[in-house]
A and B are shown apart, each in its own frame.
Chain A
Amino acid sequence: MIPFDYHAPKTLQKAMRLVREHGDDASVLAGGHSLIPLMKLRFAAPAVVIDLGGIGGLKKVTAGHETITIGALATHYAVESHRLLPGKCRLLPETASEIGDVQVRNRGTVGGSIAHADPAADWPAAMLALNAQFDIAGPSGERAVAASDFFVGLFTTALQAGEVLTRIRIATPPENSGGAYVKMRQSASGFALAGVAAQVALDSAGNCASVAVGVTGVASVAYRAHAVEDALRGRGLDAIAEAAAHAADGVEEFQEDHHASADYRAHLARVFAQRALTRAFERAT
């Protein structure tokens, strides 16, 4: 690892001052479970590391009637083990529990995963399916970006230089809604070869009143499967198979490597869209 200077600010204000001061020379550090491996390989070699881990206020997870908030520094395990989340939004703990292994979930953070935007990361799919809003602090104040505008490309997000993700906000899903995450793990790392997150709300007739589907692992960036959603809205359980067949429509750049071909990933997206939607429907009723 190339040597670097280390700062551990105790408040977000101090962190933002350090970020401004050091500019492009600095990286912020959250759980370190993407950044430290990259630094070992010298793919990343920041001159200054600003550790956000001591900022207690960024770790809180709350599950209210109207809003669920996840501090950017909350660990995957904090979401997996939160007592109220299974009842309020099953998709969140289910996604968390699918990440890596126990030690990775104890350390890695939700905000770190979102900011890193690995094309095979699990959180982007869930965040798209839940229409999450990301609160961002920057040199010129705060702004919020919707998940659908945030994931721009391979390891690329809407975060600008000097900006720090502080919080994730999700509207608590209404009654008679359900969500599910289904994934195929790369067997060594656990990362998603393909992962589909689905969130639905049903009307009184049991038909789909609203639906959002997020897909990760398949393309160079996680995406909303709008074609699936359009085919399902207003319809029932029996329409899922037909709708799910559109889960890889419109993908411009597929992920492809020795673990899985583009065709295979597209196939998995369709199969998992069907499974995730079926499970989401079942949970909504």
Chain B
Amino acid sequence: MYSSHKGGALVKIEVTINGEHQSHEVEPRMLLVHFLREVVGLTGTHVGCETSLCGACSVMLNGEAVKACTVLAVQAHGADITTIEGLAQNGELHPIQEGFWECHGLQCGFCTPGMIIAAHQLLERHPKPSEADIRRGIEGNLCRCTGYQHIVDAVQYAAAKMTA
């Protein structure tokens, strides 16, 4: 299915990332996750599988959690993006981050940024989730270390704190 073509003319995109306006020229084939890490320099968003399965690359795109390895940077033109770096405010951890800290929601930490973004989406849609809701909410995110239980605990901690 190869066709001979040059293609790939650079495209200018404007995005707001963690509240900051940014403008860059990118190749159309650049994945959003590579844009965030390599162009913008925000390496908190991880690349795990690059095949849409592990969720390590999750970020909020216009208020919705997405796998940034399965979105082109050019598709994000005009969007508002929140990455893991954008959750803490004024040096204070976000309640979900605090939950992961308090409940040992991580071991190696590789999956953690994506897990926290998935949890963020869940708590926005379901402020008081059941344990089953939490497990369903992080279904798109794999963790090879924790066995998930402490992650569930961490999300429960955050839910309690955020609705208190």
- A: residues with CB less than 8 A from B are 1-6, 8, 25, 29, 32-33, 36-37, 39-40, 42-49, 51, 53, 77, 81, 100-104, 106-107, 188-190
Contact = CB atoms under 8 A, between A and B. Distances in A.
B27 A106 contact: no
Contacts of B65: 102-103, 106
Contacts of A190: 139
Contacts of B9: 5-6
Interface centre among B2, B51, B67, B77 (most CB of A within 10 A): B67
Interface residues of B, number: 38
Contacts, number: 100
A181 B64 CA distance: 25
B70 A3 contact: no
Given A39-B29, A51-B75, 15 more contacts: A2-B2, A3-B5, A5-B7, A6-B9, A6-B74, A32-B71, A43-B1, A44-B1, A45-B1, A47-B5, A100-B140, A101-B139, A102-B137, A102-B140, A103-B67
B77 A45 contact: no
B53 A32 contact: no
Contacts of B52: 33, 37, 104
B3 A102 contact: no
B5 A102 contact: no
Interface of B: 1-3, 5-9, 11, 27-29, 31, 50-53, 55, 58, 64-67, 70-72, 74-75, 77, 118, 121-122, 125, 136-137, 139-141
5 contacts: A3-B29, A6-B9, A32-B72, A43-B1, A104-B140
A107 B118 contact: no
Nearest to B8: A3
B51 A37 contact: yes
B122 A51 contact: no
Given A3-B7, A8-B77, A49 B70 contact: no
Nearest to B10: A6
Contacts of A43: 1
A125 B113 CA distance: 35
A47 B75 contact: no
A2 B28 CA distance: 10
A53 B75 contact: yes
A220 to B, nearest CB: 20
